[in-house]
Amino acid sequence: MRLLLCFGLVFLLISCGETVTKKEYQAPDKKWGELFVEVQKQKIFEDSKVFADATPKFKADSILLKFEKQMSTEGFDLKKFVIENFNLPNYAFDEKKSTLDFEKYLETTLLSLKREPNDDNGSLIPTRKNYFVGGGKFEESNYFRSYVIIRALQSIKEDTLAVNQAINNAQFIQDFGHVPAGNRTYYMSRSNPPVFALMIKKLAEKDPKQLEIFGTQLMREYQYWMSSESKEEVSKQKEAQGRGEKSFQKVAFLPNNNLLNRYYDKENVPMAEISISGKTTKGFYENLRATHESEWTEGKRWLSNSGLTQTADILPVELNALLYFMETTLSEVYKAKGKDDYAKSFALLAEKRKAIFNEYFWNESKGFYFDYDFMTQKQRESSTLAGVFPLLVGLSDQKQADKVAQKLEKDFLKTAGLVNELNGSEIGTAEFQFFAIEALKKYGKADLAQKIKDKWLKTNREYFAKFGKIESNYNLLEPLSPQKNSHQQRIDGSLSVLLILLKE
């Protein structure tokens, strides 16, 4: 059954007001212009994120004027200039082995990552309430991980802190129309896999009014992902489809007037926080930014046969599953508000997405869900843990869930946990262990869910016993070997997942 996923755009535009932003924020590459370019080009700092997160000691106009006057003078020392005019972040890593017991370490370390709202006049965007950072060099929040943080906070009876995280995300949507990947200005042009609906549904289990409270913001996030935030954007989308283009921003045009979604960042330029050396191919930054929006930055999932990243050409399983969940949740929101016509409209949208979801993502012969390349009009061959998300959101039928469970146990499950993808890097990541466990429990696969949980807890307990810390991911073939570049990974999600698994 092929159904039109094109929705009532006028209905969407009427439902929410225009975006209102209290303050104009600029990413550091735009704010500092040539100064930023020179600092990064000359590699003044080993990590590009250092200057991206630096805070000015003086007004921006004053610093830029000084730079313009001094940059051409003989003996100009750029690093000295930066140190004189900016406060640089201290991203030293504490390698001291913890002496706490495992569970106490998890809770204490997570709570130590709590920060108060702060406007540092640099790249940090102030939040409405306290928020959680990633640790190490990640002194900012992360949208994708905020859901597991909420779950962890609930598990340790910190309900107010849990609600605060949802409030922060709602405020971002209110001010910017979406939740940025993190509360940094250089993240503003992209989001993350949309988990706001998961958040408010979880909060609503204790307080049903949370659905109504956050419903307006959820509606606006839906507009963002459907590239319909304004009448002008709606018009441009229709024009692009009429010209026979393959996509428009975050939506891809499919046969029979169907629409599905992709990761996409409007800024097709270098990323302020990541240094890239050498020449780049056409579409390099478009795909790099889309990859970072997905939060799936390791492995081979997005690679073409020639080894190039092509994230922007791919319809991801988990993204479209989460948008299905957003549609079903919006139906509940409007039903709770007594707006039955709107509730029915979103229920229909969810049904339409479900109908074409199986057509594009489900592979009956392989018994699993696969991403879809809308440029080549073929399913991708990589088997990844993204395949658990249709179960997580209740999109699968029982037969599909049975086959997914079989493949997880037969192919993905190793001694130390689930690998993120088959024929990839043998990496297992905390968040995807959690989503797989949750997904399996929804379809009566409690034994397999428990097996995965036990293996992941065992891996982390043994690693903690050896090194006095835990990691966000592990090479599951050598889980007790020191993990490479562990200081380059956030730890907030891993701490949260372990607390949930231990407490719930």
Question: Do 147 and 195 have their domain in common?
Answer: yes
Place of tokens 């995807």: 432
Q: What pLDDT, on the 0 to 100 scale, is given for residue 42?
A: 94
For 90-117, the pLDDT digits (tens) are: 887 666 899 999 999 999 999 999 999 9
Please give the residue that has the higher pLDDT: either 13 or 172.
Answer: 172
pLDDT band at residue 483 using 50, 70 and 90 as cut-offs: confident
Helix (H, G, I), strand (E, B) or coil at 75: coil
Q: Examine residue 4 and state whether it is found in any structural domain, yes or no.
A: no
Residue after which a domain boundary falls, among 58, 87, 116: 87
Average pLDDT over residues 318-343: 97
The three state secondary structure string of 395-436 is CCCHHHHHHHHHHHHHHHEECCEECCECCCCCEEEHHHHHHH
Rounded Cα distance between 114 and 301, Å, is: 33
Q: What pLDDT, on the 0 to 100 scale, is given for residue 102?
A: 98
Question: Do 280 and 332 have their domain in common?
Answer: yes
pLDDT band at residue 425 using 50, 70 and 90 as cut-offs: confident
Question: Exposed, middle or buried, 337 (CB in 10 Å: 0-12/13-18/19+)?
Answer: middle
Average pLDDT over residues 302-322: 95
Q: Which domain holds residue 363?
A: 9-30+102-503
Q: Examine residue 3 and state whether it is found in any structural domain, yes or no.
A: no
Cβ-proximal residues to 139 (8 Å cutoff; 6+ apart), any chain: 53, 89, 115, 124, 133
Question: Do 18 and 67 have their domain in common?
Answer: no
Helix (H, G, I), strand (E, B) or coil at 441: helix
The partner residues of 303 in beta bridges, in order of sequence, read 309
Q: Determine the Cα angle at 432 with ends 427 and 433, to 5°.
A: 85
Place of tokens 């791919």: 314
CATH number at residue 174: 1.50.10.10
Q: What pLDDT, on the 0 to 100 scale, is given for residue 278?
A: 77
Question: Do 201 and 149 have their domain in common?
Answer: yes
Query: Which of 43, 52, 12, 373 lies closest to 186 in space, CA to CA?
Result: 52
Q: Examine residue 95 and state whether it is found in any structural domain, yes or no.
A: no
pLDDT band at residue 423 using 50, 70 and 90 as cut-offs: confident
Average pLDDT over residues 30-49: 95
Question: Do 73 and 116 have their domain in common?
Answer: no
CA-based radius of gyration for the chain:
23
Q: What pLDDT, on the 0 to 100 scale, is given for residue 94?
A: 66
For 196-244, the pLDDT digits (tens) are: 999 999 999 999 999 999 999 999 999 999 999 999 999 999 999 999 9
b/e per residue 293-328 (b: at least 16 CB within 10 A): bbbbeebebbeeeeeebbbbbbbbbbbbbbbbbbbb
Q: What is the DSSP string of 201-268?
A: HHHHTT-THHHHHHHHHHHHHHHHHTT-SSHHHHHHHHHHHHTT-SEETTEEEEGGGEEEE----S--
Question: Do 242 and 333 have their domain in common?
Answer: yes
Q: Which amino acid is at 173?
A: I
Average pLDDT over residues 39-59: 95
Phi first, then psi, for residue 242 (nearest 5°) are -65, -30
Cβ-proximal residues to 445 (8 Å cutoff; 6+ apart), any chain: 401, 405
The partner residues of 413 in beta bridges, in order of sequence, read 418
Q: What pLDDT, on the 0 to 100 scale, is given for residue 38?
A: 96
Q: What is the pTM of this model?
A: 0.95
- Per-residue pLDDT at 22 exceeds 50: yes
Question: Exposed, middle or buried, 500 (CB in 10 Å: 0-12/13-18/19+)?
Answer: buried
Question: Do 321 and 336 have their domain in common?
Answer: yes
- Per-residue pLDDT at 132 exceeds 80: yes
Q: Examine residue 94 and state whether it is found in any structural domain, yes or no.
A: no
Average pLDDT over residues 460-472: 96
The partner residues of 86 in beta bridges, in order of sequence, read 56
Q: Examine residue 97 and state whether it is found in any structural domain, yes or no.
A: no
The overall average pLDDT reported for the chain is 93
Q: Examine residue 1 and state whether it is found in any structural domain, yes or no.
A: no
For 167-183, the pLDDT digits (tens) are: 999 999 999 999 999 99
Q: What pLDDT, on the 0 to 100 scale, is given for residue 488?
A: 73
For 142-162, the pLDDT digits (tens) are: 999 999 999 999 999 999 999
Q: What pLDDT, on the 0 to 100 scale, is given for residue 26?
A: 93
Rounded Cα distance between 436 and 369, Å, is: 13
Question: Do 142 and 83 have their domain in common?
Answer: no
Question: Do 17 and 39 have their domain in common?
Answer: no
Taking a C-beta distance cutoff of 8 angstroms, is the pair 125, 180 a contact?
A: yes
Question: Do 164 and 58 have their domain in common?
Answer: no
Q: Examine residue 2 and state whether it is found in any structural domain, yes or no.
A: no
Strands 251-254 and 247-248: antiparallel
Average pLDDT over residues 261-274: 95
Question: Do 53 and 107 have their domain in common?
Answer: no
Rounded Cα distance between 318 and 194, Å, is: 9
Question: Do 195 and 79 have their domain in common?
Answer: no
Q: Provide the Cα torsion 393, 316, 297, 117; round to 10°.
A: -50
Residue after which a domain boundary falls, among 44, 64, 87: 87
Domain count, the chain: 2
Q: Determine the Cα angle at 209 with ends 208 and 210, to 5°.
A: 90
Place of tokens 């997570």: 110
Q: Provide the Cα torsion 426, 428, 429, 431; round to 10°.
A: 130
Q: Examine residue 218 and state whether it is found in any structural domain, yes or no.
A: yes
